A and B are shown apart, each in its own frame.
Chain A
Amino acid sequence: MTRRTHRLVTRICWLITLSVVAIPFAFPFLWMIAGSFKNAAEVLGSTSLIPTTIRWTNYVEVFEYQPFARQYFNSLYIAVLVSVFTLIISSLAGYALARMRFAGAGLLMLFLISALMVPEEVTIIPNFFLFGWLDLMDTHWPLVLLPVFGSHGVMATFLMRQYFLAIPKELEEAGKMDGLSRLGIWWKIALPMSRPALAAVTIITFLFSCVNRRVKRDQIAV
């Protein structure tokens, strides 16, 4: 066997191994897709990935049994709001933490990190009263504000900070020479330089906002 075919064979064996490992990752997905075409009895009764009959009406019924279009729209527009707010606020804070010197920076970081250590369920009761007091109950504001300032916001701040640290300082110094204010440097130099980080933060925030819409909220509104 030549070296080349040897490599090809090991590669193919490797891909087969990976495919086997991938089964538990992919199976629930495929099962969900298959299930979306099955009728109720078949969803519960069979584990086959190929539906016996293709039932397109499931996709129509989703919109008939519940205000699904409205729910879908709500999820999307809340995710957009959360992402926009998170981007602005976390990049401002991340920039200050990365580039500006001030007393208490280390301590502030430590405090922010502690927000990652508390489950949202813990602060939900006081937050529930807080939003009642702010008269924001039964509005979308809690759904926007809590993620923006919760653990995802903190994560976004750190991502931005790490990225800003890696931008060459000289560019900002040049901006200063040209008479830009701090805010100008942030907006005109730091932000355009950190597009990859901004993209990452947007993707992560948007996805988690869409996906992690808490089931608990309905149960908590006792």
Chain B
Amino acid sequence: MISPDTKSATARKTRAPLLTLRRREAMEAWLFLSPTVIGFVVFFLGPLIAVFGYSLTEWNLLTQRATWVGLENYTDALGNNPDFWPVLSNSLIFAVGLVPMNMALALCLALSLSRPAFGNVFFRVVFFAPVVTSAVAWAIVWKFLLQGEAGAVNQMLATVGIDGPNWLREPDWAMFAVIFTRVIKMVGLNMILYIAALQSVPRDYEAAAVLEGASRWQIFKWIIWPLLAPTTLVIMVVTTIGSLKIFDHIFLMTGGGPENGTLVLAFYVYQQAFEFFDVGYASALAVIMFVVILALTLLQVALRNRNAS
């Protein structure tokens, strides 16, 4: 028999942990996070799950009728549809072309502009300005500049005796042109990140290296580059993700052409959904795209961790 006294004592004992500081803190944390978490679930996670659901159906946006087809959309994309693999390879070519060019240029610009010197602030503004230009305006202006005969770029090249190609009408050159103009537009962002990282490199390290007689290249290779590693990883991951998600730039500059030479994944998804109204297939493509991006991101982080250890 338990006496009433001991009963209340055990009750107090079990209730007590609810009021510990730890729990209180966790509860407060979730309160602080609640707007973010609710928004994330409602506007991102929920829709993403819905997209996965759509991908298992055949659903035409015009007829508004969805029928369950299981994994058929996936087998279609990966096996039967001749468009998919070229589109995926276009996306990868775009990323492989853009990321190294962007990062190398960003690093070079940052190295030459990180110190306070005459004109450096001015040039930082010049190189950053395209980042905050409207993507629409940027693409339209470049489209004019890259016209075949009459375009400004080809006219400039003509003055030095080079016969420029019809940039946006030949598949290979079109890919190069969209990569180049995208790099020019976005490199300023990475430059700023690199400048911020460079400015936090302690001057003493460099001074010590100079006393030891290290060359500039040695200082960069053995001191600055290793210290930049965390920034480099962030820039690489974010730039890769951004380049695989590219849509508006290509939509406006080439419309995926010529001969689908610049048709990339995000644009292909858009085309299937909003031009052919095939939501099921588009959703399956979107899920595949998400998996590709996720895999590449995890790969980059894993490679970096292995190199670091």
A residues sitting closer than 8 Å to B (CB atoms) are 11, 14-15, 18, 21-22, 24-29, 31-32, 43-45, 47, 88-90, 92-93, 95-97, 100-103, 105, 108, 111-112, 114-119, 121-123, 125-127, 129-130, 145-146, 148-150, 153, 157, 182, 186, 207, 211-212, 214-216, 219-220, 222
Interface Cβ pair total, 8 Å cutoff:
184
A211→B133 contact, CB < 8 A: yes
By beta carbon, the residue of chain B nearest A23 is: B156
Number of chain B residues whose Cβ lies closer than 8 Å to a Cβ of chain A: 71
Q: Could you say which of B132, B152, B269 contacts A121, with CB atoms under 8 Å apart?
A: B269
B133→A29 contact, CB < 8 A: yes
* B273 contact set on A, CB distance < 8 A: 121, 125
Interface residues of B in 252-293 (CB under 8 A from A): 252, 266, 269-270, 273-274, 279, 283, 286, 289-290, 293
A to B CB contacts below 8 Å, 19 in the list: A18-B112, A24-B184, A28-B133, A31-B141, A45-B150, A47-B155, A89-B36, A93-B36, A96-B29, A101-B26, A108-B37, A112-B36, A117-B245, A125-B50, A125-B51, A148-B39, A149-B36, A149-B43, A182-B28
Complex CA–CA separation, A92 to B32 (angstroms) = 5
A122→B289 contact, CB < 8 A: yes
A119→B266 contact, CB < 8 A: yes
Binds A, one of B77-85, B116-124, B204-212, B218-226: B116-124
Interface residues of B in 36-83 (CB under 8 A from A): 36-37, 39-40, 42-48, 50-51, 54, 61
Complex CA–CA separation, A149 to B25 (angstroms) = 24
Complex CA–CA separation, A117 to B300 (angstroms) = 14
* B144 contact set on A, CB distance < 8 A: 31, 43-44
Complex CA–CA separation, A129 to B123 (angstroms) = 46
B150→A95 contact, CB < 8 A: no
Q: Could you say which of B42, B130, B293 contacts A25, with CB atoms under 8 Å apart?
A: B130
By beta carbon, the residue of chain A nearest B242 is: A116
Interface membership of chain B positions 3-39, coded 1 if the CB is closer than 8 angstroms to chain A and 0 otherwise = 0000000000000000000100110111011011101
A22→B123 contact, CB < 8 A: yes
Min CB distance A160 to B, Å, is 11
Complex CA–CA separation, A47 to B294 (angstroms) = 43
A93→B32 contact, CB < 8 A: yes
Beyond A93-B36, A115-B44, A130-B46, whether A121 also contacts B247 by CB under 8 A is: yes
* B279 contact set on A, CB distance < 8 A: 125
By beta carbon, the residue of chain A nearest B265 is: A119
By beta carbon, the residue of chain B nearest A212 is: B135
Complex CA–CA separation, A52 to B309 (angstroms) = 63
B145→A31 contact, CB < 8 A: yes
* B286 contact set on A, CB distance < 8 A: 118, 121-122
By beta carbon, the residue of chain A nearest B126 is: A22
* B155 contact set on A, CB distance < 8 A: 47
* A212 contact set on B, CB distance < 8 A: 134-135
B241→A116 contact, CB < 8 A: yes
Complex CA–CA separation, A127 to B51 (angstroms) = 10
